[in-house]
């Protein structure tokens, strides 16, 4: 996995932990992130639907920041 994608996904996850904890009442499944723009959001559904330029990064790959 591209390190830039992983870093951006971790930043998105950290942002939600720090500034939007109410969103995390249930644990997310991971982050969906656009490979070119590095914009993304948390995903809570078990089977995310991705656009062609998106990548799903599971929460297990983001947890070392916890």
Confidence at 64, pLDDT banded by 50, 70, 90: low
Going by C-beta distance under 8 Å and a sequence separation of 6 or more, which residues neighbour residue 56? 30, 31, 32, 43, 48, 50
Per-residue confidence (pLDDT) for residue 66, from 0 to 100: 46
| Spatial contact of 18 and 48, defined as CB atoms under 8 Å apart | no
More confident residue, 50 or 16: 50
What mean pLDDT is reported for the chain?
A: 88
């Amino acid at each position: 996995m591209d390190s830039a994608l992983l870093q951006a996904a971790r930043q998105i996850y950290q942002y939600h932990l720090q500034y939007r904890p109410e969103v995390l009442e249930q644990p997310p499944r991971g982050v969906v992130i656009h490979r070119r723009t590095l914009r993304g959001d948390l995903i809570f559904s078990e089977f995310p639907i991705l656009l062609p330029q998106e990548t799903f990064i599971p929460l297990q790959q983001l947890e070392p920041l916890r």
